[in-house]
Amino acid sequence: MSIGAKVRSLCGPLETPVTDLYRAFFVDLNSQTRQIQAWAPQAANILEIGCGEGAIAQHLAALYPSARITGIDITPKAGRLFRGDRSRVNFHQATAAEWAAAHVNDYDLVLTCDVLHHVPWDQHEQLLMDARSLLKSGGSFVLKDWELIKNLGHTLCEFSDRVLTGDDVRFGSADYFSGLLGGVFGTVPHRAHIRPWRNNIMFHVVKA
């Protein structure tokens, strides 16, 4: 068990508010999900790849009150902290490739947030190709990650990922992410920075 997981296990019923407060130091999920909604306002069927314990799904469920939302993750704890309507929000342990094999062209919106820096770089392109295959024509793909900009936020983020979670992470540049998306989707993505750190970079592309 990682150091971070051990600390969280000691929080008991306070785990969710403590986790939310800790996450808010790095990223404003309200701003992030509102930007996603601005890019894809009509999404009725949404998939989050690498959903973790359900924090972003919690926000999306409020912003898209009629949408069906699915979260997938390689961890068996996918969606563990989600509190909301389970009749339209569900979580599964699966990889993007496994899900894509059974759900081609199913989704209006597919997103992956703060996942790529945890994924080996030689697998990035395939993950995005799987995401593209999951989208309907005209559907939106949103990629959010942490850009390598040397500042206090980055020092603390890298410490968190390497020491607290125990992950072997590697951070990329905005140009790297943009070029990767352009190669897979064949178009230049829109981009936005999310508060409070400029390192929070998010991209949007539409499947032709």
DSSP string, 128-139: HHHHHHHEEEEE
pLDDT at 61: 97
Bigger pLDDT: 91 vs 168:
91
Q: What is the mean pLDDT of residues 51-68?
A: 97
- pLDDT tens-digit profile of 99-154? 999 999 999 999 999 999 999 999 999 999 999 999 999 999 999 999 999 999 99
pLDDT at 3: 47
pLDDT at 28: 98
Q: For residues 50 and 57, what is the distance between their CA atoms, to the nearest angstrom?
A: 11
User: pTM (2 decimals)?
Assistant: 0.94
List domains and CATH numbers for the chain: 25-78+97-206 (3.40.50.150)
Q: What is the mean pLDDT of residues 9-25?
A: 75
